[in-house]
Amino acid sequence: MRPMTRRYLLVKVVCDRKLTNEQFHEALNNSARRYFGELGLSRIDPRIINFDAESSTAIVSCERTATSEFESAMALITSYAETPMSLLVLHVSGTVKGAARRKK
């Protein structure tokens, strides 16, 4: 059986306020839960690999089979704690290294 593989996404955070790692994680989870439910969230299994508040970029990962769901959930984020916020997926890679390379 093929092992469960993951996809790594380079994301740009567009928000007027500086977010912490926890707040960013909460925003991701809330959106995935809202649009795909608890079962969908468990299938997506989002994780933050690296969040850089200074450059407003992050590398996040999800299950390979649920990449489009995760990207959709991120596309539908409009605000966090009443502050307008949006996420742009800039690159999708099979390795952390590949996603990090695009960040530079």
Partner 1 sequence: MGKYLDLHVIPRPEDTESCERMADLLSTARYATVGLTVATGLLNERIRSMRRIFEEHDVNTVLRADFKPGSRTELLRLLRRFRNLYDVVAVRCLNQQVATVSCRDRRVDVVFFDVGNRNLRFSHTFARLLRGAVEFNLVSDLMNQGDGWVFSRTRKAITVAREHHVNVILSSGARNYEMVRSPFQISALAMTLGLTQEESIRGVSSTPLSIVTENRKKRAPEYVEEGVKIVVPSRR
Nearest Cα to Cα of residue 9 among 50, 53, 38: 50
For tokens 């439910």, name the residue. 37
For tokens 């969908």, name the residue. 40
Instruction: Tell me, by CB under 8 A, how many residues bind partner 1.
Output: 19
Question: Minimum distance between the CB of residue 89 and partner 1, rounded to whole angstroms?
Answer: 5
User: Which residue in the set 20, 90, 95, 101 belongs to the binding site for partner 1 (CB under 8 A)?
Assistant: 90
31 lies in the binding site for partner 1 (CB under 8 A): no
Quote the Cα angle for 7-72-67, to 5°.
20
User: Which residue in the set 52, 64, 81, 88 belongs to the binding site for partner 1 (CB under 8 A)?
Assistant: 88
CB-nearer residue toward partner 1: 76 or 81: 76
Q: Which stretch binds partner 1 (CB under 8 A): 21-29, 44-52, 64-72, 93-101?
A: 64-72
CB distance 40 to 53 below 8 Å: no
CB distance 93 to 49 below 8 Å: no
CB-nearer residue toward partner 1: 84 or 94: 84
